[in-house]
């Protein structure tokens, strides 16, 4: 493969993801020089990738992190299996990985961490904010990898989740929280690029810090291959 060719970036989705949502995934990777490849339970699993995005979507099955089963949420067991297998394969290879929303949670669970199954139950009086617009403020830990990539100490983000990282997994550091104290970003101390953000940077196409994050993934994928 030519060194200047676009690195292949796998993006995990459900089989039922809308075309509009997939377009934002595709465009986010393509505009920064990557070659997006959709990965879902019904598609063949790749043997080689230059980078991996674990995307947003339904809740993770509670038994993966020792949580209590909730009957009023959507889960996708086949997708859980796919993504856990991909992390098992590509993290040890040093493949750059970015987790988005559910993806950040799954990275933490894969490394032995836990989740808060419903933040609106756990945190009394928390303001419900479910929007693709950047309405929530997060503070980023100084000198973290995320801080150096985004180049900001705080930023405005969107919010589409009702679960959150609770106890950090092996080698995981919590590097951003919102003003309610909820975990909003994690990163690994043991890998060159293993980052999870609770928000959706792919929807924030005019937000420079968020686009720097996706650009950094593509750059890391190009360097690592």
Query: Is 101 one of the annotated active-site residues of the chain?
Result: yes
Please check the confidence at residue 1 and state whether its pLDDT lies above 50. no
Per-residue pLDDT tens over the stretch 172-220: 999 999 999 999 999 999 999 999 999 999 999 999 999 999 999 999 9
Q: Where are the beta strands (DSSP E) in 130-206?
A: 131-140, 154-159, 164-165, 172-178, 183-188, 194-197
Tokens of 67: 């949580």
Asked if 204 contacts 210 with a C-beta cutoff of 8 angstroms, the reply is: yes
Please give the span between the terminal C-alpha atoms of the chain, in angstroms, as a whole number: 10
Q: How far apart, in whole angstroms, are the C-alpha atoms of residue 33 and residue 40?
A: 22
Give the residue among 14, 85, 100 at the shortest CA–CA distance from 49: 85
Q: How far apart, in whole angstroms, are the C-alpha atoms of residue 143 and residue 153?
A: 9
Q: How far apart, in whole angstroms, are the C-alpha atoms of residue 8 and residue 5?
A: 9
Catalytic residue among 32, 161, 187, 202: 202
Helix axes 208-224, 19-30, angle to 10 degrees: 70
Per-residue pLDDT tens over the stretch 17-71: 889 999 999 999 999 999 999 999 999 989 999 999 999 988 898 889 887 666 5
Tokens of 152: 């900001």
Query: Is 202 one of the annotated active-site residues of the chain?
Result: yes
Query: Is 187 one of the annotated active-site residues of the chain?
Result: no
Per-residue pLDDT tens over the stretch 134-153: 999 999 999 999 999 999 99
Per-residue pLDDT tens over the stretch 80-130: 999 999 999 999 999 999 999 999 999 999 999 999 988 877 776 676 677
In a 3-state reduction of DSSP, which class is residue 12? strand
What is the number of H-type helices and E-type strands within the chain? 6, 11
Catalytic residue among 32, 110, 161, 200: 200
pTM, full prediction: 0.94
Catalytic residue among 32, 83, 101, 161: 101
> What average pLDDT is seen over the chain?
92
**Cβ-proximal residues to 47 (8 Å cutoff; 6+ apart), any chain:** none
Cα 210 vs. chain centroid, distance in angstroms? 12
Cα 176 vs. chain centroid, distance in angstroms? 13
């Amino acid at each position: 493969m030519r060194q200047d060719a676009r690195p292949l970036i796998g993006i995990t989705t459900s089989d039922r993801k809308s075309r509009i949502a997939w377009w934002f995934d595709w465009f986010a990777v393509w505009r920064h020089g990557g070659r997006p490849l959709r990965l879902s339970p019904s598609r063949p699993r790749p043997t080689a990738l230059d980078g991996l995005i674990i995307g947003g979507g339904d809740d993770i099955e509670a038994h993966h992190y020792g949580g209590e089963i909730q009957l009023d949420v959507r889960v996708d067991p086949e997708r859980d299996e796919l993504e856990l297998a991909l992390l098992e394969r590509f993290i040890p290879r040093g493949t750059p990985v970015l987790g988005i929303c559910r993806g950040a949670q799954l990275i933490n669970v894969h490394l032995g961490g836990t989740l808060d199954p419903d933040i609106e139950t756990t945190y009394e009086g928390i303001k419900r904010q479910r929007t693709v617009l950047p309405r929530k403020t997060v503070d980023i830990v100084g000198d973290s990898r995320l801080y150096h990539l985004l180049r900001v100490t705080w930023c405005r983000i969107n919010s589409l989740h009702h679960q959150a990282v609770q106890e950090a997994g092996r080698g995981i550091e919590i590097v951003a929280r919102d003003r309610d104290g909820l975990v909003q970003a994690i990163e690994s101390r043991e890998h060159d690029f293993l980052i999870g953000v609770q928000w959706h940077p792919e929807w924030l196409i005019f937000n420079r810090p968020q686009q720097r994050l996706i650009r950094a993934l593509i750059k890391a994928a190009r360097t690592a291959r």
